[in-house]
Homo-oligomer: A and B are copies of this chain.
Amino acid sequence: MSHREDDDRHLARAVALSREHMENGAGGPFGAVIVRDGVVLAEGWNEVTSTNDPTAHAEVVAIRRACREVSEFSLKGATLYASCEPCPMCLASAYWARVSRVVYANTRDEAAAIGFDDSFIYDEIPLPPERRSLPCEHSPREDAKAVFEAWLNKADKIRY
């Protein structure tokens, strides 16, 4: 199959997951699939309300499962297929996981139209901490700076 046909197939699967697990009550209508070198590493779907975990978005769930599958904290070379544009939490988790490409169907605006905060959070993240609707206060501390200094000098650290 062509690259394009692979994309269509994996994105269709992400959408099918979004419907299946919305219908069975797992959470919101979101699904995700992670693929590397033609191999499906993991699937995920939203489980926020069924597991009482606000971080259990489809993409985060899929990333965690894929990393468990490969026993690594990097998914370099992998593509994340998502039934909806990843929210800032999920997008940032894709950066931390070193995902190489994201393909999505619905948009943050379409998510906003059915009651999800993705677009609002996208607007909040770039604001200076003191201007956000969620108050973020900087309270500098010497002990905190000293821990960073210790990390810099740690001989056996594992970078990520």
Q: How far is the CB of A160 from chain B (nearest CB, A)?
A: 5
10 A–B pairs (Cβ distance < 8 Å), ordered by A: A27-B160, A49-B160, A54-B73, A54-B97, A54-B160, A89-B89, A101-B136, A102-B136, A103-B139, A106-B141
Chain B residue contacts of A57, Cβ below 8 A: 96
Closest residue on chain B to residue A99 by CB atoms: B134
Q: How far is the CB of A45 from chain B (nearest CB, A)?
A: 11
Residue A19, interface by CB 8 Å: yes
Give the contacting residue for A67; candidates B53, B102, B106, B156; CB below 8 A. Answer: B53
Q: Find residues 1-57 in chain A having any chain B CB closer than 8 Å to their own CB.
A: 7, 11-12, 15-16, 18-19, 22-23, 25, 27-29, 48-49, 52-55, 57
Number of this chain's copies in the assembly equals: 2
1/0 per residue, CB under 8 A from B, across A104-144: the answer is: 11110011011101001110111001000011111111011
Size bin of chain A's contact surface = 35 or more
A67, B47: Cα distance in complex, Å = 13
A100, B136: Cα distance in complex, Å = 9
Q: Find residues 51-105 in chain A having any chain B CB closer than 8 Å to their own CB.
A: 52-55, 57, 60, 63-64, 67-68, 71-75, 83-89, 91-105
A120, B92: Cα distance in complex, Å = 10
Chain B residue contacts of A129, Cβ below 8 A: 85, 102
Q: Is the CB of A72 within 8 A of B52?
A: yes
